[in-house]
Amino acid sequence: MSLITKILAVLVAAEFFFIFYLETVATASGRTSKVFGMDIEELKRSSVNTLFKNQGVYNGLLAILISTFPTS
């Protein structure tokens, strides 16, 4: 792989890790509210919280896969 491809893969993986953090760890934070354009009260709802955590795990796995395969 070229150097540019590896750099872009690392940037995309970093973005996925950031989204993972927002959706899984900091679900009801002001930053998450601002990024996704939702009220904090809405983010605190149990159903929304569960959906965000599910999507966060998905994004975390994508980040791991993307950061693993640029070397191959």
**pLDDT tens-digit readout, 11-59:** 999 999 999 999 999 999 999 999 999 999 999 999 999 999 999 999 9
Question: Which residue range forms the structural domain that includes residue 10?
Answer: 3-71
User: What pLDDT sits at residue 72?
Assistant: 55
Extract the tokens encoding 56.
């966060």
User: What pLDDT sits at residue 22?
Assistant: 94
Angstrom distance (rounded) from CA 7 to CA 3? 6
pTM of the full predicted structure?
Answer: 0.83
Q: How confident is the model at residue 3 (pLDDT cuts 50, 70, 90)?
A: confident
Domain count, the chain: 1
Q: How confident is the model at residue 6 (pLDDT cuts 50, 70, 90)?
A: confident
Angstrom distance (rounded) from CA 27 to CA 36? 11
Cα separation of the two ends of the chain: 8
